[in-house]
Structure 1
């Protein structure tokens, strides 16, 4: 039995298939944060679709509407007077940017292989992606001989490496070349072993270079035309590097330098360094799920397992694999120094991708990073912070020129250059000035998990403060004396006025006010920690008293707008009014029971009207139900995410592909097992009956804590909490717990479900059910 099949038997986190990919949605993604590839695994004509994270068409745009400043007060007046159509008509002309749309993120190109004498029938074919090593592989037998391929993209050495081997002497003869149809910019030869693809992305866009170098054992390599030609080799190593003028003045020089350095190491050392760099991060968290009632499916190919789930079967092992895949994808498309993960991470095969494959910041980009802190990949969060840094100067200009305000604003989309203007034409999406407010909360979350005071002081708080300053100046008083945002929207939903008019633009939508409340509260807490800006804190505190809070409407639901309007689409994919439940904390399952019940009612109404039909929306719903403590319902949506919104390669089917569903789904699974909002840690808050036994190690909790959990027969058997900082720890559990440290009982108090003790930095605490002898 081959080593590949032995690995499957050990139930390692491996995606595997018994046939090549016939379409992009079956290909396997690899990436180092910056350089990505989709592996098809075809036998006679292999294809690797390539991406580099800075290959964006066009350049930055100075697109703020110069007339906006003069018309914002008039738009507000029309909205307050109920003149909906007039307000939207004027907004379309006065607020929208010119040009209307940001330019797209584009493919680097394709790497195409043509193998001689490979058109015969193969046997024992297997294509796989090992999530523990981040190495893709292909194995097949042809004419009685074995052929293997390995592919990985190394963050350690900035190259993609491909090794092809056979035990047939001289059995590898093939040509390989770059293709970028219909935008081929040409390829040149450099020596006898290297080809270089040239290209650019429009008049104001980046220029790029991609280089491919071959080294052979037992054969020859040379260039013919724009091909690398390999003849009668036993083993071939291909190294690929790519760069653009976004990072380097001379990207070709950098490509050659990276190829030289990687070639000097050799394939085996590159492989070892790649695994060492990746595996340490991936291995921080490990989930084990078991279910006696579920079939043992781990010996089946991944697509077959997915088909069975789509037919109604439970497969905890596939859920486990999906969770691991989410962490793998984040590590593969967002690393320190890379660009933030866009709508497709880094994997995009279209020159005109849906929604330009931008950063959509009315939820999708934020959802990409929901697993980062909780799932112990905090460094993967850094590219998002870099993107916010790029947006900051642009956002100051937009705040000033469009709204006449100080501080920092962004709308629902941004790009490689951090543009912040009102982008697009639909009033249902574009006029939403809360992008900066929501994004800045990610900096606060990074602090809350790690408690890095220097990060808070020097990076997080200054940005949070500028986002809050804009909102303080932007909000106006309504007829009831409340401070409200506007013009704005509840992304991307419509309401119906009493006279039957459908509207988008409004004053003070619920999501806006919840983000404002969360940001202002975070800023006051951060300023107090840093002991600065006392006057600003008072200003925020005063404003908080006048901001509308979540309200319950006539259907028992959380209201989406200031007025209890009917919804134009009751099953709308955005459930923006529940920001207060997740990722916000204003709605709490135990502390605000009436609002929690209203949140349930909101979800039930959305779902009964067809909601959750898209991948990311379904993923958000998983997180909502987890926060509500409804484990079985949360699991139903995990299963629905797999059954209805997942391609054979386990990428999210929005449709089309958007990666946020993968990341939101992975975060939701973690939220079912551990939560740490509202000043307490909740252990197994939404454990479904279908996972009676299991364990997870390495999750992070707010407050500088790392948590391992074990459970049996649906109840916690042990928790281990490692403290990196000293402080009071509050743990909520449905069963009485006791805490030990170093084998000794720790001074603690357990009352009404809360276990409280003073933790010391560097100590490990073991929690067990009261009366248990197991520590």
Structure 2
């Protein structure tokens, strides 16, 4: 197969796996906005889990919510009484007043949510993929394709998969170099509690499942029918039907074939089967070649809109991968608009998950779409704009019934969280500011902005000094029930300014504008407090403690994404903002929506080094999976809400896509305060950076390059025209252009130097964070080895609590005469409580015999050998081994332990079996080739203080090898 996309001057952004056994949570994403798949290789088969947002969201597609049953006056009395009582638990969390029943029982059942997944398609090979001599999976986000290659001794299988844009079809092209490599094709249903009926069918080369699904609430949403259908091109498929399974054997002579798969969703009165078969017939008529041409044309156009190149290839690749993932799953094309991308987009693979992927109002849905404007893809926010308007009738009804007010209830559907609709309306306003499309302003943004502000006309109260009091109100998921949350004041101030500007632009009601100006003038200043630890900072609300523990970074709203406090603020306000950032970082749990918000705020304050550090240390180091997406549970972390839940399968989170792209955008270009700031916060570790056609407010496309600490090139394109207030290298440069105009700036020192052309590294990427954690994009044997070491030795983040690893032993096996090693290059130093240094390695040679004083060693040295291969690193370079069996003895007090074994030989084949009687037994599933190593972690429980005997032996006449052994005690 030829490469799916041509080389580009900005370089490849491929995500590469070079080891088999890709788990479901490492699957590679593809999609067209509302239909897609996650591809992985597990259980001996290449798998695609299909999904469609109309099917996935169907049970939870609810836009009506009952009005609250609270009495506002009674709530206000309770809030004031709690404020006077310094010991009241509601100081920390308003739910102690709003939902006291939540805390009344013994515990809570958290079983997670099950949604409708489309189906699972598999290509099963005759030989295990794990036995392949070479393996590679490669996601090319620039071409939106996944290529897989698997080579055995007697042949090679190549696969290419993509969701054909414009055809709503997953296309899988297979090509074998030898006959008989593929055994069969399988389509499986995925169990759903909402499935009411199911039928399967097959005709010619086509096959399908058609299911009827019940909604979660039959009164609010209709029953739907969905068909998952496929067709095989290239051989005559004979489909066998089983319970929830359709399969077709692949003839040994079929060395090249194509599979087409789709999902059609409709209400029960429609024929989804016929719709699915029409989609496949259209794809078949076009043929794979034309499908691929149209698909590549779409993605070339997409990436021509904006690109970046950084001297930090890790962040550069993350930016491209996450913008690609957002484009694949932003909700475009879905018939049901109310959930947009939802919480998890198309990336759910297994049930049950943590939340149910619907529109979550208190940061998740907003942050998903924050980044698409500066990334020059405002069209990606269209599903948000359409989805928000779906809720308007219910929000107006809420205002009438609960508040006896006009307009849109600002807290719908989260009672008393009045920041919600001003927050969402920001994204409508940005749709106008980044496009300057007056029809969008008039028809889409203005009606919502106006109705939200009309609500505040009725809801707002005033104190004796005539200042606005927004009470009772809350900040999302934290703090007391009280007046004037910071996030609400900032969001309302911004929306009032937007509403006044929009009204004037459209020639709307002058009287109403004057009323909004009065309301704006009477808004109180942001709440400020002070503490010994952080100094003067913003408070989360007027009644919040200055050091309140935080679930959300809500009080950063005036800094980012808004710009009430920015680079041009007074010295006191800039200092207050920096102190606030320190406070939020220190009191904020690690989470999927926190790191991007914190990093963006740091960039707004010009703190590029802090922005990059936070991005890595508060997000990437814990949340990142090898596929470039992030989730609420990884090998290193689990989110607070899930610590005490049932075991769940946590899909990747869409808010992380928006969070990381948005945070990187802020280092490169800012324009929220009316000035277009080029490279406002590049980290000092960057030697160069370049971006092409990022978008600024006012509809200005900006391209620029930064080298050696200064901007060397800028190009401005006017999409709408006007005056661009450019800030470059600390200098303000006003530029007037008509629509379509272009201006290139000749900057000092740049004339004689051509723009940097960059070749991105190919293959998996590894980056070491300031705290010495290694993070990875993609997978190969070395990445997996290093990841295994780090996961075994570094703290595990249990919610907001770091759980240290209690490593009791580290053994390094090899010859006695090997010179002193630098272990820190392979195994980062363990440090506990900042000043307790972790264990060093004990060196074990064949002559290290067990004694009760030494407490570890060989039972007998006969037959043992030790060799030093001098590579590939200080832990894998040498070993102790043999051809017979040997016993390593070790004193262990009673308790629970984890054992990490490292085995392999840089120059020769080996196969090691490890057994501890009554504890564990393990060996690799096949011999390890020369240069291959296996790292395995095994649990053991010791009920008495005793000597553990670990037996090592070779398998099937191969020698055994032991490079290292480490032991953690489990509390």
- For normalisation by structure 2, the TM-score amounts to 0.68
1:771 is displaced (CA, Å) by: 7.5
What secondary structure is seen at the aligned counterpart in 2 of 1:518? helix
1:275 aligns with 2:296: yes
SS at match of 2:698: coil
For the pair 1:215 / 2:207, whether they are aligned, the reply is no
Deviation per CA, 1:325-348: give whole Å up to 9, x if none.
111011101153335222112211
- 1:483 equivalenced with 2:461 (yes/no): no
**What is the CA–CA distance in structure 2 between the aligned matches of 1:486 and 1:580, rounded to whole Å?**
20
Q: 1:433 to 1:101 in 2, by over 3 A?
A: farther
Partner of 1:311 in structure 2? none
> 2:372 aligns to what SS in structure 1?
helix
Deviation string 1:268-304 (CA, Å, 9 cap, x unpaired) is 11111111112211232121122xxxxxxxxxxxxxx
- The alpha-carbon deviation at position 734 of structure 1 amounts to 2.8
Tell me if 1:326 matches 2:345: no
1:668 CA drift (Å): 0.9
SS in 1 for 2:259: strand
* 1:435 has 2:399 as partner: no
1:645 corresponds, among 607, 623, 628, to 623
CA contact (8 A) 1:728 1:758 kept: yes
Matched, 1:559 2:566: no
Correspondence 1:234-253 to 2 at 5 A: 234-245=255-266, 249-253=270-274
2:395, 2:408 within 8 Å by CA — same for their partners in 1? yes
Equivalent position of 2:132 in the other structure: 122
**Cα 1:42–1:268 shift into 2, 3 Å:** farther
Deviation (angstroms), 1:364: 1.4
Deviation of 1:712 (Å)? 1.6
Are 1:574 and 1:617, in contact at CA under 8 Å, matched by a contact in 2? yes
Q: Which residue of 2 is the match for residue 254 of structure 1?
A: 275
Query: How far is 1:534 from its partner?
Result: 0.8
Q: Is residue 106–residue 352 contact of structure 1 (8 Å, CA) maintained in 2? A: no
CA distance in 1, matches of 2:125, 2:259: 15
Q: Which residue of 1 aligns with 2:286?
A: 265
Shift in Å, 1:30: 0.9
Secondary structure of 1:697's aligned partner = strand
The answer for unaligned runs of 5 or more in structure 2 is 103-109, 634-649, 755-971
Question: How many Å separate the matches in 1 of 2:6 and 2:521?
Answer: 62
Tell me, yes or no, if structure 1 residue 107 matches structure 2 residue 99: no
2:758 match: none
- Distance change >3 Å, CA 62–CA 772, structure 1 → 2: closer
Rounded Cα–Cα distance in structure 1 between residues aligned with 2:569 and 2:695: 23
Judge conservation of contact 2:696–2:702 (CA < 8 Å) in 1: yes
Deviation at 1:230, TM superposition (A): 3.7
Are 1:231 and 2:209 matched, yes or no?
no
1:191 aligns with 2:231: no
Match of 2:446 in 1: 461
In structure 2, relative to structure 1, the CA distance for the partners of 1:251 and 1:772 (3 Å cut) is: same
CA contact (8 A) 2:61 2:358 kept: no
Q: CA deviation at 1:586?
A: 0.8
- 3-state SS of 1:613 partner: coil
The residue that corresponds to 1:421 in the other structure is 413
Q: Distance in 2 between matches of 1:144 and 1:2?
A: 22
Contact 2:4 2:145 in 1 (8 A): no
- Partners of 1:23 and 1:173 in 2: how far apart? 21
Q: 2:873 matched to which residue of 1? A: none
Aligned-residue offset at 1:650? 1.4
- 2:67 & 2:142 partners in 1: Cα distance? 49
Q: Which of residues 664, 669, 674 in structure 2 aligns to 1:669?
A: 664
Q: Is 1:758 the counterpart of 2:743 in the alignment?
A: no
Residue in structure 1 matched with residue 171 of structure 2 by the alignment: 161
Q: After superposition, what is the alpha-carbon deviation per residue over 1:458-512, rounded to whole angstroms, capped at 9, x for unaligned? A: 1111111111111222222245543232332111222xxxxxxxxx322221111
Is contact 1:104-1:358 (8 Å) kept? no
1:189/1:223 contact within 8 Å kept: no
Residue 717 of structure 1 pairs with residue 733 of structure 2? no
Deviation by residue 1:337-379 (Cα, 9 ceiling, x = unmatched): 3352221122113444212222222111111111211101111
Partner residue of 2:12? 12
Structure 1 spans left out of the alignment, 5+ residues:
291-315, 412-419, 423-429, 495-503, 736-752
Q: Which has the higher strand share?
A: 2
Residue number in structure 2 paired with 1:746: none
Distance (whole Å) between structure 2 residues aligned to residue 638 and residue 759 of structure 1 = 36
1:721–1:766: 8 Å Cα contact kept in structure 2?
yes
Structure 1: distance between partners of 2:714 and 2:129: 56
Question: What SS does structure 1 have at the residue aligned with 2:590?
Answer: coil
8 Å CA contact 2:410–2:455 kept in 1: the answer is no
Alignment length, in residue pairs? 700
Q: Distance in 2 between matches of 1:182 and 1:756?
A: 59
Q: Deviations over 1:496-529 (max 9, x none)?
A: xxxxxxxx32222111111111111100011111
Written as runs of structure 1 = structure 2, the 5 A alignment for 1:537-616 is 537-555=513-531, 556-563=536-543, 565-569=545-549, 572-609=550-587, 611=588, 613-616=590-593
Structure 2 SS opposite 1:690: coil
Residues 243 and 471 of structure 1: CA distance in aligned 2, closer, same or farther (over 3 Å): farther
CA–CA separation in structure 1 for the residues paired with 2:745 and 2:443: 36
> What residue number does 1:621 align with?
598
Structure 1, residues 115-168: CA drift from partner, whole Å, max 9, x if none?
334467212100110011000111011242111111111231111111111121
Q: Could you tell me which residue of structure 2 aligns to residue 92 of structure 1? A: 99
Deviation at residue 651 of structure 1 after TM alignment: 0.9
Task: State the 1:757 CA deviation.
Answer: 2.9
Pair 120,567 (structure 1): closer, same or farther in 2 beyond 3 Å: closer
- Note closer, same or farther for the CA distance 1:31–1:542 as it changes in structure 2 (3 Å cut): same
CA contact (8 A) 2:124 2:182 kept: no
Task: Tell me by how many angstroms 1:764 deviates.
Answer: 0.7
1:301 is matched with which residue? none
CA contact (8 A) 1:681 1:730 kept: yes
Check whether the contact 2:113–2:353 (CA below 8 A) recurs between aligned residues.
no
- Counterpart in the other structure of 1:509: 485
Q: Which residue of 2 aligns with 1:303?
A: none
Match of 2:346 in 1: 346
Distance 1:450 1:243 in 2: 33
Is contact 1:623–1:671 with CA below 8 Å preserved after alignment?
Answer: yes
The DSSP-based 3-state class of the residue aligned with 1:369 is helix
- TM-score (norm. length: structure 1): 0.84
* Offset from partner CA, 1:69-96 (integer Å, 9 cap, x none): xx1132224334547869966633899x
User: 1:182 and 1:559, CA in 2 relative to 1: closer, same or farther beyond 3 A?
Assistant: closer
Report the equivalent of 1:307: none
Larger CA Rg, structure 1 vs 2: 2
Aligned to 1:294: none
Is the contact between residue 64 and residue 402 of structure 1 (CA under 8 Å) also seen in structure 2? no
Identify which of structures 1 and 2 has the higher relative contact order when contacts are C-alpha pairs closer than 8 Å and 6+ apart.
1
The CA distance in 2 between the partners of 1:114 and 1:773, in whole Å, is 58
Does the residue aligned with 1:266 lie in a helix, a strand or coil? helix
Q: Whole-Å Cα distance in 2 between the matches of residues 589 and 62 of structure 1? A: 42
Deviates more, 1:717-726 or 1:470-479: 470-479
2:837 match: none
Residues 6/370 of structure 1: CA separation in 2 closer, same or farther (3 Å cut)? closer
SS for the counterpart of 1:220 is coil
Structure-2 residue corresponding to 1:767 = 745
Answer whether contact 1:220 1:230 (CA < 8 A) is retained. no
Q: Deviations over 1:399-453 (max 9, x none)?
A: 1122222111364xxxxxxxx434xxxxxxx641332221111111011011001
Per the alignment, do residues 410 and 260 of structure 1 end up closer, same or farther by CA in structure 2, a change over 3 Å counting? farther
Measured after TM superposition, the shift of residue 573 of structure 1 is 4.1
Is the CA contact 1:552–1:595 (under 8 Å) kept in the aligned structure 2?
A: no
